Amino acid sequence: MPVTFTFGEMLSARSVIGSTLAELGETHENLWVLTPDIGATLVEFRDKYPDRFLDVGLAEQVCVGIAAGLAYDGNIPVVSGMLPFLSMRALEQVRTDVCYPNLPVKIIGTHGGLVGNGGSTHYAVEDLALMCALTNMTVTSIGDPLMVGEVIRQSMAMQGPIYIRLAVGKKDVVLYEPGEHDIRIGKGIVARRGTDATIFTHGTTVAQALQAAEALAEDGRSVRVVDMFTLKPIDADLIAQCAEETGGRFVVLEDHLAYGGLATRVADVVADRGIHLTAFERLGIPQVYAGFGDDEQLRDKHGYGLSATVAATRRVLAARP
């Protein structure tokens, strides 16, 4: 059954994953779901299709390797787990077993960014840099929980692998009205229109960027927010359009290392296309192991919380061409 929701309220992205995979299992008899002992939200698929469900235990490398083997046999494997371990412990298997032969393996995971209060070993903060570096890998980072289902559905027709990044996935705000945006892998979403500056963001910080834009609107400033949920392939045309339409004033906000993630992807497009900017600021995790704390505390501590986002946007707004 489709997930019901109310715009602006909270919804579990994990429950959306579980229900979407169970739904797709009916129409895709070659869909397999695998997990390295993170299968609580996959129960519906497991119970419906026990012959196509596999929990390998705490063995991410094995999980990815088996998924690759299943894909070689004509199946569509989905690997669901925690991204700190899927992106690093299993990196060689993702690169060599999945990306090299360009297999249709879907890697879906939680704990992207400084979320969950698990400490530095349990935060995926380098993952987007690693995944964007891999040939053939499509890389996404989702903030709205309902988008997860749509991205999974679209990925069923993809020939190669995809990486789908979530935060904790237990309590996520529904950002968009149903049908409000055309969600397509490889295309950014203009989450808020504006003409004075653009905030590019993805994943869990989309909501924060929208809050910052709303705060600046009280001062009469019109700030665009772009949910660049696909980091690879990046929507270069939208970046160029935003430069032209918002005075070349960019802020990039992300729950990832400040270098190597979306800010680097945007900067590459700017350099490669020779786009003139008036001002550019990146907000993200500095070169530190962040330690413990809740999401907002850690963002504030490391300089990319709400107040820092508003301040950075004010600086780019004040810059002269």
Query: How high is the pLDDT of residue 9?
Result: 58
Cα dihedral 207, 213, 216, 218 sign:
negative
How would you list the strands of the sheet with 249-257, edge to edge?
A: 189-192, 223-227, 197-201, 249-257, 279-285
State the average pLDDT over residues 269-290. 97
Provide the token pair at 158. 């993809």
Residues in contact with 73: Cβ distance below 8 Å, sequence separation at least 6, in sequence order: none
Span(s) in the chain for CATH 3.40.50.970: 13-166
- Taking the C-alpha atoms of residue 34 and residue 56, their distance in angstroms, rounded to an integer, is 7
Strand-pairing partners, residue 279, are: 249
Could you tell me which residues are beta bridge partners of residue 46? none
For the ranges 12-21, 131-140, 204-213, the lowest mean pLDDT is seen at 12-21
Q: What is the pLDDT of residue 230?
A: 98
- Higher pLDDT among residues 16 and 89, named by residue: 89
Rounded to whole angstroms, the Cα distance separating 82 from 165 reads 10
1-50 pLDDT per residue, tens:
333 444 455 556 778 888 999 999 999 999 999 999 888 889 999 999 99
Mean pLDDT of 192-217: 97
What integer best gives the mean pLDDT of the chain? 93
Which residues, 6+ apart, have CB-to-CB distance to 219 below 8 Å? Answer: none
The pLDDT, as a whole number, for residue 179 is 80
Question: What is the rounded CA–CA span in Å between residue 90 and residue 85?
Answer: 7
- CATH of 189-318, picked from 3.40.605.10, 1.10.1530.10, 3.40.50.920, 3.90.228.20, is 3.40.50.920
Least confident of 29-33, 102-106, 116-120, 255-259: 116-120
What is the pTM for the complete model shown? 0.94
Rounded-to-integer distance, Cα 143 and Cα 254, Å: 11
**Mean local confidence (pLDDT), 53-63:** 96
245 contacts 223 by C-beta, under 8 angstroms: no
- What is the arithmetic mean of pLDDT over 129-152? 95
Return the pLDDT at 5: 41
Rg (CA), the chain: 19
pLDDT of amino acid 41:
83
Please, which residues have CB within 8 angstroms of residue 133's CB and are 6 or more apart in sequence?
Answer: none
Residue 299 has pLDDT above 60, yes or no: yes
Q: Whose structure tokens read 């490669």?
A: 272
- 106-110 vs 162-165, strand pairing mode: parallel
Average of pLDDT values for 271-278?
Answer: 98
What's the pLDDT band for 172 if we cut at 50, 70, 90? confident
Residue 1 confidence (pLDDT):
33
- The residues, any chain, with a CB within 8 Å of residue 87's CB and separated by 6 or more, are 94, 109, 124, 126, 127, 130, 131, 163
- Residue percentage of the chain with pLDDT more than 90: 86
Stretch(es) of the chain classified as CATH 3.40.50.920 = 189-318
DSSP letter string, 194-223? -SSEEEEE-GGGHHHHHHHHHHHHTTT--E
Look at residue 160 and tell me whether its pLDDT is greater than 90: yes
* Domain 13-166 listed as CATH 3.40.50.970: yes
Using CA atoms, how far apart are residues 250 and 21, in angstroms rounded to an integer?
A: 37
Mean pLDDT on 248-252: 98
- Give the residue from 104, 126, 101 showing the smallest Cα distance to 113: 126
Query: Helix 262-273 vs helix 236-245: angle between axes, to the nearest 10 degrees?
Result: 80
Position of tokens 């008036």?
278
Give, for 66, the enclosing helix (H) or strand (E).
Answer: helix 60-72
* Helix and strand numbers, DSSP H then E, in the chain: 12, 14
